Structure 1
Amino acid sequence: MKLAKLPEPLLEFGSGTHVCPRTGIEQMSVYDKKDELRRTELRIGVVGRGEGVDLLDDWLRRCRNGIERKKKSDLKNLFRGFGGISQTHGFLTRFINSPNYTRTLRKSDVTQVVLLGSRTQRVEKAVNLYYEQVRFLAENRTVDVIVCVVPNEMFDSLTGSTNDNDDEKEGRAIEHNFRRLLKAKCMHLGIPLQLVREKTIQITAYSGEQQDPATKAWNFVTALYYKGNRTIPWRLVEDSEKPKTCYIGIGFYKSRDGETLSSSLAQVFDEFGHGIILRGTPVSIDKSDRRPFLSEDQAYDLLTGALEEYDRALEQMPARIVIHKSSHFRETERAGFSRALSDKGIRSKDFVTITGTDIRLFADTNYPPERGTLMTMAENEGVLYTRGTVQFYKTYPGAYVPSPLKITVYEQDSSLEAICKEIMGLTKMNWNNTQLDGRLPITLECANKIGDIMKYVGESEKPQVSYSFYM
C-alpha cells in the first residue's frame, strides 16, 4: 500500500487560473468571455403566483447588487461574498426580467391543487398548471431560461408524506414527482427550467439550516448563467502533453412503474466539461445481484453512438477514451466497448469503476483526511478522498464524516494516480454547485439526475442532449 496526496486541480477562467470557482469568477471573470457568441444579456422568464414573482424580483435585485459574506464565520474562502451581476464584472452579463417575461398563477388554481385528496392528482394538476405558462413563454417570448417559483404550501403538498387513500386503493405503483415530470414535459419546448421554492429566496427566511445568502446566490446565479448561455463559466486547465480525451459515464434507470427493464444512458464529456446526453436501449437485470448490465452488442452500440456524437460536435475523434461506471465492468461490456474503440481506431482506453467503500483513513488531527488523499492498494485499485479537509478553505466543509471512493480500473492504459487526478478534476465540473469539493465526477454526478427525468420522457420523444435540461 502507498499513500499520496494529489494536488487540487486548477480551473481556467477568463484571465487566469484558480482552484476555486467562486474566487476565479470574482477575480478573473467567466472563462467563456472569450466566446464571441456568448450572451451579455440573459432574459429570465418567470412563472409563479403573485407573491412568488415579487420574491424573485427582490432576490434578483439583491443578487445584482451583491451580497455580503457570512459575517459570523472567519472562513473567508469558504463563505465568500457574492459580487453581484453586471456586464463589467464577474459573470459579464446582466439578467433581464420584466412583466413581459412573467406569467402569474391564480391563487385559486394553487389552492385547488393543494386541496386535491390524492398526491398523484396534485402532482399532475400542478405540472399541467406550470406547463401551460411555460409553454406560453417558450412560444411567445424570447427567453433564455425560465424560473418556476413554487409556493411553499404547494411544494409541501407535492412532496410531503401523505395518507393518500385513493392512490392506495388504485394500487398505483407509478412514480409521480413534480420536478421530474415538469422538466420532462417541458423538454420539447427547448428552454431550460430552474425550479425554486418561495422559502429559498425569501430574504427574511435565512436560518442556520439553510445556506447563507451569498452561497445561495453563487449557486443560483451560476446555474442560471449556465442554463441560459449554454456555455461554461469555467473549465479544467488543458494539459498539452496529454492525448485528447473523451470521458463517458454509463448509467441506468428504471421505468416509472419499476416493472420494466432498466435503460442505459451515456453522458459524454470532453476534457473541458462540455457534455451531451444519449439514451440507450432497455437492458437485462442480473438475477443474482439485481444489477442492470449491457450485452456486448448493446455496449458496442451505446459507445459507438457516443463517439459519433463527439465527432459531430468536435469534428474529430479523441485519442483516448475513459469510461466511468458505478458498477463493475462485465465481460460482455468490456468486449463491446473494446470492439467499438477498435472500429474507431482509438487505441488508448481506461475503464474505471467508481463505488463506495467501507475503508476509512484517520488523520492525526481533529479533521478528516485531506481531499485528494489516495491510498493505492494495487496497480489498478485504490481509495480516493474527493471530500475531506480542504486547505484552501482551512477546514472540512461538510456536516458528516466523509466517505471515500473505491477506484478500480479495467483495460488500463494509464496509471491509477493519473486516473484519480482526472476524477478529482471532474468533481469540479458541476454547474449546480460552486463549492470546489464535489464527491463524484460529473460523468456520474449527473447520471441519477438524468435518469430520474429520462424515465418520464416517452420512447417516441427525442430527449435534449444538454445537461442544462436535467440539472
Structure 2
Amino acid sequence: MKVTVIEEPLLEFGKGTHICPRNGIERMGVYDTKDELRRSELRLGIVGRGEGVDKLDVWLDLCRNGIVGKESELSNLFKGFGGVSADYGFFTRLLSSPSFTRAIQKSSIVKVSRIKTREERVVTAVNLYYEQVQFLAENRAIDVIICVIPEELFVSLTQKDSGSKKDTGAIEQYMEHDFRRLLKAKCMHLGIPLQLVLESTLLTGKANRGNQDDATRAWNFATALYYKGNKTVPWRLKEERFKPKSCYVGIGFYKSRDGETISTSLAQVFDEFGHGVILRGTPVVIDKNDKRPFMSEEQAYNLLSSALSEYDKALMQMPARIVIHKTSKFRDTEIRGFCRVLEEKSVRSKDFVSITNTDIRLFSQTSYPPKRGTLLSINENEGVLYTRGTIDFYQTYPGAYVPNPLKIDVYENDSSLEELAEEILGLTKMNWNNTQLDGRLPITLECAKKVGDIMKYVDVGEKPQVSYSFYM
C-alpha cells in the first residue's frame, strides 16, 4: 500500500490554463474564443408567471453587470462574478425580450395546487409549461428556455396527497425532480435545452437565504446557460500531446418508470473537449446473488459498437484508446463483448474502470480532511481516490460533510492505476453545471446518472437528444 497526492489537473481556456474554472474564465476567457466562427449572443426564452419573470429580469441584469463576491478571507472560493458581456470573460451577450417571453397565469397555478393527487398535479404542471415552451421553440429563434417555477407550485408538487409536506428536504428534492425530469423529457423533441429555476433562488442580498452566495450562483447559472445555448464548452482539460487520443465512455443503469425493467444508459464524452453523445441501451439482467444489473456479451457489444460508430461519425476517425467507466464491477460477459468491439475496430489501448463507493477512509494529521487528489494504492488494480477534500487553492475544505472517497477497480488495463486516477480527477472538473473545481464523480458517470434520471420518461419509440445539455 502507498499514499500519493495527485496534482490538480489544468484546464484550458481561451488564452491559457488554470486549475479553477472561475479564474480561468475571468482572466483568459472561455475556451471557444479560439473559434473564429463562434457566436457572441445568447438568446433566452422565458416561461413563468409575471412576478417570476420580473425577478428573473432583475437577476439577468445583475448577471450582465457583475456581482461582488462574499466578504471572506477565502477569496478564491468566494470569487466575485465579473458579469456577462461581449468583451470580457464569456465574450457574449445575454439577450432577452418580451417577445421571447411567455406568461403563465396565476389562476392556472392555483388550479394545479387544488388537484387532489400529486401525480396529477405534476402532469398538469408539466403540460402547463410545455404549452408555452412549445410555442417559443416553434416560433422564436432562441437558444435556451428558462422556466421560472413559483414557490407555491414547487410546494404543491412536493406534498403528500393528504396535503402535508414531506418530512425531509431530501425527499422534497426527489419529488421536485419528478417534475423536472418529466418536463425535460416531454420538451426534448423540441430541440431547445431548458434551464429550470425556482423563484426563491432569484432573490439576492439579505433576501437570499440559500446556501450559496449571489456571486457563486451567478457563476454557475451563467456557465450552464453558456454551455446549453452555445453548444460549445467554456473550458476543457489541458491536452497532453504525448497521450493517445482517448474516448471516454460512462455506463450506468436506470429503472423504468413502472419499476419492471432496468436499462442501461450510456454517456460518451468525446476526448478532452467534452463533446458527448448520449445513447440509450436495452433492458438488462439482474444478478440473483448481489442484485446488481449487468449486460450480456451481445448487449455490451452492441452498446460499445454504437458508441464508437457515433464517435467515428463526429470526428471522422477511431480513437486510439477507449476508457470505460462503470458504476459496478465488470462481468466476464461485458468484458468479452467490449473486447470484441475493440478488436474489430482496431482500437489498440483500453482501460475498463469500475468506480464505486467505499467505507475506507483516510485521516490527515490536521483538523481538515485529506487533500483532494489523495490516492491510496491498495495494489496495482485497486485504489481509493479522494475527489473531494482539502484544496490548497481554496485554503480550506469547501464541503459541508466528511468527504466520501471513490473506490477504483481496474480491469483489462493498459494504463497504471495512478494514471487512471489522475484522469478521473480531471474528468470531475468537466461538469459545466458547476464552477467549483471539486466535483465528486467524473463527468462520464455524472452524465450517465442524469441521463438515466430523465431517459425513463422518454418514450421507447422517441429518439432522445444526444447532447448532455438536454439532461443537465
Q: 1:164 to 1:289 in 2, by over 3 A?
A: farther
The residue matched to 1:250 in structure 2 has which SS?
Answer: strand
1:67 equivalent to 2:38? Answer no
Instruction: Report the CA distance between 1:270 and its aligned residue.
Output: 2.1
The residue matched to 2:368 in structure 1 has which SS?
Answer: coil
| Counterpart in the other structure of 2:154 | 155
| Counterpart in the other structure of 2:237 | 236
Instruction: Report the CA distance between 1:207 and its aligned residue.
Output: 4.7
Contact 1:253/1:451 (<8 A) preserved: yes
| Counterpart in the other structure of 1:102 | 101
Cα deviation 1:79-101 (Å, max 9, x = unaligned):
00000010000000000001000
Contact 1:278/1:306 (<8 A) preserved: yes
Alignment partners' CA distance in 2, 1:204 and 1:243:
48
| Counterpart in the other structure of 1:288 | 289
5+ residue gaps in structure 1? 166-173
Q: 1:208 to 1:121 in 2, by over 3 A?
A: closer
| Counterpart in the other structure of 2:188 | 187
Instruction: Report the CA distance between 1:177 and its aligned residue.
Output: 1.4
Instruction: Report the CA distance between 1:285 and its aligned residue.
Output: 1.2
Amino acid at match of 1:391: D
Q: Structure 1 residue runs of 4+, over 3 Å off?
A: 204-209
1:253 equivalent to 2:249? Answer no
| Counterpart in the other structure of 2:42 | 42
Alignment partners' CA distance in 2, 1:164 and 1:332:
49
Contact 1:119/1:164 (<8 A) preserved: no
Alignment partners' CA distance in 1, 2:160 and 2:385:
37
The residue matched to 1:177 in structure 2 has which SS?
Answer: helix
Percent pairwise identity: 68
Amino acid at match of 1:78: L
| Counterpart in the other structure of 1:348 | 349
Alignment partners' CA distance in 2, 1:372 and 1:283:
34
Contact 2:255/2:263 (<8 A) preserved: yes
Contact 1:87/1:94 (<8 A) preserved: yes
Alignment partners' CA distance in 2, 1:37 and 1:199:
37
Instruction: Report the CA distance between 1:115 and its aligned residue.
Output: 1.3
Amino acid at match of 1:3: V
Instruction: Report the CA distance between 1:114 and its aligned residue.
Output: 1.1
Amino acid at match of 2:220: N
Alignment partners' CA distance in 2, 1:432 and 1:37:
24
Instruction: Report the CA distance between 1:176 and its aligned residue.
Output: 8.6
1:66-465 alignment runs, 5 A limit: 66-71=66-71, 73-163=72-162, 177-204=178-205, 206-207=207-208, 209-259=210-260, 261-272=261-272, 273-465=274-466
Contact 2:249/2:324 (<8 A) preserved: yes
Instruction: Report the CA distance between 1:378 and its aligned residue.
Output: 0.5
Contact 2:277/2:466 (<8 A) preserved: yes
Cα deviation 1:200-251 (Å, max 9, x = unaligned):
0122564564200000000000000000000000000000100010000011
Alignment partners' CA distance in 2, 1:225 and 1:414:
34
Cα deviation 1:235-284 (Å, max 9, x = unaligned):
0000010001000001111111112x211121111221111100111111
The residue matched to 2:81 in structure 1 has which SS?
Answer: coil
Amino acid at match of 1:464: Q
Contact 1:457/1:463 (<8 A) preserved: yes
| Counterpart in the other structure of 1:168 | none
Q: 1:68 to 1:161 in 2, by over 3 A?
A: farther
The residue matched to 2:431 in structure 1 has which SS?
Answer: coil
Contact 2:137/2:190 (<8 A) preserved: yes
Q: 1:77 to 1:206 in 2, by over 3 A?
A: farther
Contact 1:324/1:443 (<8 A) preserved: yes
Alignment partners' CA distance in 2, 1:111 and 1:316:
54
Alignment partners' CA distance in 1, 2:456 and 2:48:
26
Cα deviation 1:385-424 (Å, max 9, x = unaligned):
0000001000000000111111000001100000000000
Alignment partners' CA distance in 2, 1:219 and 1:413:
36
Contact 2:118/2:160 (<8 A) preserved: no
Instruction: Report the CA distance between 1:458 and its aligned residue.
Output: 0.5
The residue matched to 2:48 in structure 1 has which SS?
Answer: strand
Amino acid at match of 1:123: V
Alignment partners' CA distance in 2, 1:80 and 1:161:
40
Contact 1:184/1:457 (<8 A) preserved: yes
Instruction: Report the CA distance between 1:163 and its aligned residue.
Output: 2.5
Amino acid at match of 2:403: P
5+ residue gaps in structure 2? 165-174
Q: 1:301 to 1:376 in 2, by over 3 A?
A: same
Amino acid at match of 2:340: R
Aligned length: 461
The residue matched to 1:160 in structure 2 has which SS?
Answer: coil
Q: 1:161 to 1:209 in 2, by over 3 A?
A: farther
The residue matched to 2:233 in structure 1 has which SS?
Answer: coil
Instruction: Report the CA distance between 1:161 and its aligned residue.
Output: 4.0
Q: 1:146 to 1:175 in 2, by over 3 A?
A: closer
| Counterpart in the other structure of 1:21 | 21
Instruction: Report the CA distance between 1:107 and its aligned residue.
Output: 0.8
Range with greater deviation from structure 2 (284-293 or 8-17)? 284-293
Contact 1:118/1:164 (<8 A) preserved: no
Contact 2:201/2:208 (<8 A) preserved: no
Cα deviation 1:319-355 (Å, max 9, x = unaligned):
0000000100000000000001001001210100001
Contact 1:375/1:383 (<8 A) preserved: yes
Range with greater deviation from structure 2 (207-216 or 394-403)? 207-216
> RMSD of aligned C-alpha atoms?
1.4
Amino acid at match of 2:361: R
Contact 1:247/1:268 (<8 A) preserved: yes
Contact 2:181/2:453 (<8 A) preserved: yes
The residue matched to 2:145 in structure 1 has which SS?
Answer: strand
The residue matched to 2:131 in structure 1 has which SS?
Answer: helix
